């Protein structure tokens, strides 16, 4: 495995794990579901994504 490939892999994993890639996925979904309609800007999307935690807290174990 080349260092470049390793870097790509680590970056991909961290982006997926932290949810940083959620916006890209949203854009893909949006394009398919509502072609032509403008998607939410990233700022609004991330706000909604985080604020969902207010009503649905994930339990953390001991």
Partner 1 sequence: MTIPDSTRAKPTWRSILVWTAVAIAGATAWGMIALVRGEEISAFWLVVAALGSYAIGYRFYARFIATKVLRVDDTRATPAERLEDGVDFQPTDRRVLLGHHFAAIAGAGPLVGPVLAAQMGYLPGTMWIIIGVIFAGAVQDMVVLFISMRRNGRSLGQLARDEIGPIGGVAALVGVFSIMIIILAVLALVVVNALAESPWGTFSIAMTIPIALLMGFYLRTLRPGRVIETSLIGVALLLLAIVAGGWVQASSWADAFTLSPQTLVFCLVIYGFVAAVLPVWMLLAPRDYLSTFMKIGTIGLLAVGVLIVAPTLQAEAVTDFASSGAGPVFSGTLFPFVFITIACGALSGFHALIASGTTPKMIQKESQVRLIGYGAMLMESFVAVMALIAACILDPGLYYAMNAPAGVLGTTVESASTAVANLGFTISPQDLQAAADAVGEESLVARTGGAPTLAVGMSEILSSVFGGDSLKAFWYHFAIMFEALFILTTVDAGTRVGRFMLQDTLGNVWKPLGRVGWKPGIWATSAVVVCAWGYFLYAGVNDPLGGINQLFPLFGIANQLLAAIALTVATVVLVKSGRLKWAWVTAAPLAWVAVVTLTASWHKVFSSDPRIGFFAQRERYADALDQGEVLAPAKDLDQMRTVVTNSTVDGVLAAFFALLVVVIILNAAVICWRAARSAEPLPTTEAPYVESKLLVPAGRVAAAEDPEDDRP
Binding residues for partner 1, rule: CB under 8 A, are 1, 8-9, 12-20, 22-23, 25-26, 29, 42-43, 45-47, 50-55, 57-62
Kindly state the smallest distance separating residue 47's Cβ from partner 1, in Å.
7
Kindly state the smallest distance separating residue 36's Cβ from partner 1, in Å.
19
Query: Three-state SS across the chain?
Result: CCHHHHHHHHHHHHHHHHCCCHHHHHHHHHHHHCCCCCCCCHHHHHHHHHHHHHHCCCCCCC
Kindly state the smallest distance separating residue 52's Cβ from partner 1, in Å.
7
């Amino acid at each position: 495995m080349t260092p470049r490939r390793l870097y790509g892999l680590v970056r991909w994993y961290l982006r997926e794990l932290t949810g940083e890639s959620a916006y890209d996925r949203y854009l893909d979904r949006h394009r398919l579901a509502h072609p032509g309609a403008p998607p939410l800007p990233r700022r609004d999307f991330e706000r909604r994504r985080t604020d969902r935690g207010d009503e649905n807290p994930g339990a953390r174990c001991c």
